[in-house]
Amino acid sequence: MSRIGKMPVIVPKGVKVALDGSALKVEGPLGKLEQQCHSEVTVTLDKTSGDIVVSRSSDSRSARALHGLTRALVANMVEGVSKGFEKKLEIVGVGYIAAVLKDILQLRVGFANELQVPIPKGLAVTCPDQTHVVIKGIDKQLVGQFAAEVRARRKPEPYKGKGIRYENEQVRRKAGKAVTK
């Protein structure tokens, strides 16, 4: 039995859950999310406690894998509509800056041209200062994917550490050229 999959998802106050066949809809104070569940996994709403219970139809390898995955996705949906998710990025380098203009994230990170990254719908991107970017949203997958795409525009390099990194990310540094005598 999946240790993650067998735990029920506790639904906090203010969050509404609706099951329509294999479609799960979660609505909370921050917004709405919808997820289609796989046919090998059944999602039920416990009437007494109001929790969401995920169970699998068989003991096949794919059903066991989908059991834990589905439970984690449902838990992320519930947490997203109640609290939301956030990723913070740091920009390190002389002259490296970021700014938000309407629905475009503008990055100056050492290239000849400024990078224009369109912000997807459902995300709120802010720049508290020129060297920090905060990405907020209710969909954990969307927040993480956009943060990874922005970071991939200029990954931190190992010699000086310049580039875009997650907040508190440790960059492995290499020694430069050694002067020989």
In the block, residue with structure tokens 């947490």 = 79
Based on the fold, state whether residues 59 and 89 are members of the same structural domain: no
Burial class (CB in 10 A: 0-12, 13-18, 19+), 66: buried
CATH number at residue 151: 3.90.930.12
**Cα 6 to chain center, whole Å?**
23
Domain count, the chain: 2
Same domain for 91 and 106, yes or no, is yes
Instruction: Write phi, then psi, for 143 (nearest 5 degrees).
Output: -65, -50
Mark whether 68 and 140 lie in a shared domain: no
- Residue 100, H or E segment: strand 97-101
Least confident of 90-99, 115-124, 169-178: 169-178
Please write the tens of the pLDDT for every residue from 95-154: 999 999 999 999 999 999 999 999 999 999 999 999 999 999 999 999 999 999 999 999
Indicate whether 110 belongs to any domain: yes
Does residue 95 sit within a domain? Answer: yes
Same domain, 95 and 69: no
